[in-house]
Chain A
Amino acid sequence: MERIPVLRMGTLLLITIQVDMHDKLALQLQDDVTSRIAEWGSTGVLIDISSLEIVDSFIGRMLANIAAMSRVLGAETIVVGMQPAVAITLVELGMSLPGVRTALSVEAGMELLYGAGAGFRTGSEHERDEA
């Protein structure tokens, strides 16, 4: 079955959405993200949507949901690389995603997460735990 890969980088989860989203895929992704956070004790989730060119209210809600779920599990979510057309569409749909943090690029998003204390420092702690 098709599924969106959830990659692990230290204490971060990296998700790159490169296919058209549909209901099943989104639900699967929510399942995956929440169980990975719980399993690996991740403190940050980075969702890269730079290849996403078409967006609807469903995907908007999915992003907001993942952010809210991660927050409940103690991880911060950052959505990066949103295309101008996607941003305009979401605003026109009335979805301003107030609970979601954003960044221009993966790099900027990483910086934000590390700055928020979710990155290297805890990453090394994490590795120590494993060792």
Chain B
Amino acid sequence: MSDLADIISRNEQQIRSEWIGDLHQTVQRSDLMSKAEMEEQCSALLSAVTEAVRSSGSEDVMTAGWRQTREYLEEISASRARQGFTATEVATFVLSLKRPLFSAIRRDMGKTQDRMFDTIWTATELLDRLALLTTDAYLAAREELISRQQQELLELSTPVVKLWEGILALPIIGTLDSARTQVVMENLLQTVVATNSKYAIIDITGVPTVDTLVAQHLLKTITAARLMGAECIISGVRPQIAQTIVHLGINLEDVTTRARLSDAFALALQMSGRTVVRQNASAAGSKVVLAGPLAKQEG
């Protein structure tokens, strides 16, 4: 152990320059990181390793003496994960220290083969452990990135918009699973309370398929809204989905459904006692207040 510490501290300069040279050839990603930054990271890591090996030995990298090294390595790995390095590149950063370190050991202990072998074994175990540590840190950073993106997606994809005084619309894009239903339901109910809206239109144009589970989630949302005193209309039911619903035997008889969002909006306006009127017959075409299917409702 002390052999390894000796060799590293004696040959620190040379190991560093060889290591940096190797890295330039293997994993230098000049598109993601500057040369100077890479060299600075190498120097800092090597001094930390040297210090740790000298003070706490190389058997266990989880001890307190290795804490600084561990934290520095985790920080490097996490930042590289965010920069877009691959897992191989991140692990190679540490593993490429092997060649310079081994040649230093060979230079110093070339004459005593047993000691050389022992020292090399200690060094390789140490570097493997450090490399595993970087991979773990890399994965953790990636996981965190993914879960944050998932959360953002969840929030982005469920907006509740106010169409009119007392009429809300909730366009759902993507598949409804339990977690999303929860968010959608909470969003909708909170907005219902906040805006005092009696009608909510749930638009499922963006939902690719409706199976029994999705239907159940929708019904839950509608029931919760009804308990609070709001009425839901489902719109955007595509012909295929209408067929699927009937074939699956899903009971949507208590729910008002419409084919298009515009139809549902017209219905909601009608139910809240409003009519849509064309301003002036002669100026029709240019001065239509609400055109299309909405205008049909006035008759």
B148-191 interface bits toward A, Cβ cutoff 8 Å, 1 = contact, 0 = none: 00000000000000000000000000000000000001100110
Question: In the complex, how many residues of chain A place their beta carbon closer than 8 angstroms to a beta carbon of chain B?
Answer: 20
Whole-angstrom CA separation of A56 from B2 in the bound complex? 67
- Give the complex CA separation of A102 and B189 in angstroms: 14
B229 and A84: CB pair below 8 A? no
Asked if A82 and B220 sit within 8 Å, CB to CB, the answer is no
Q: Give the docked Cα–Cα distance between A96 and B185 (Å).
A: 15
Quick check: A96 and B223 within 8 Å, CB to CB? yes
Query: Chain A residues with Cβ under 8 A from B226's Cβ?
Result: 96, 102
Flag if B230 contacts A90 (CB, 8 Å). Answer: no
Say whether B189 contacts A88, CB under 8 Å: yes
Of B53-61, B131-139, B192-200, which binds chain A? Answer: B192-200
B186 touching A88, Cβ below 8 Å? yes
B223 → chain A, closest Cβ, in Å? 5
Mask, A74-106, CB within 8 Å of B = 1, is 000001111110111011100011000011110
Which residues does chain A contribute within 8 Å of B220, judged by CB atoms?
91-92
A104 and B196 contact, Cβ closer than 8 Å, known pairs A84-B186, A84-B190: yes
A104 and B228 within 8 A (CB)? yes
A27 contacts the other chain (CB 8 A): no
CA distance in complex: A91, B189 (Å) = 13
- A102 partner, pick from B185, B190, B227, beta carbons under 8 A: B227
Main secondary structure of the interface of B (DSSP, over half): helix
B273 CB, nearest partner CB in chain A, Å? 11
The answer, yes or no, to whether A38 is at the interface (CB within 8 Å) is: no
User: Interface size of B by Cβ–Cβ distance < 8 Å?
Assistant: 18
Is A97 touching B229 in the complex (CB atoms < 8 A)? no
Chain A residues positioned under 8 Å from B189 (CB to CB): 84, 87-88
When distances are taken between beta carbons in the complex, the residues of chain B under 8 Å from A86 are 227
Give the residue of B192, B196, B223 whose beta carbon is less than 8 angstroms from that of A91: B223
A108 close to chain B: CB less than 8 A: yes
Asked if residues B229 and A102 are in contact (CB atoms below 8 Å), the reply is yes
CA distance A86 to B196 in the complex (A): 17
User: For B228, what are the chain A residues with a Cβ–Cβ distance below 8 Å?
Assistant: 82-84, 87, 102, 104
Neighbour of A96 across the interface among B193, B198, B227, B230, CB < 8 A: B227
The interface bits of chain B over 256-271 (1 if a CB of A lies within 8 angstroms of the residue's CB, else 0) are 0000000000000000
> Is B227's CB under 8 angstroms from A80's CB?
no
A102 to B193, CA, bound (A): 13
Beyond A91-B224, A105-B196, A108-B229, 11 additional pairs, beta carbon < 8 A: A84-B192, A84-B193, A87-B227, A91-B223, A91-B227, A103-B229, A104-B193, A104-B198, A104-B228, A105-B229, A108-B198
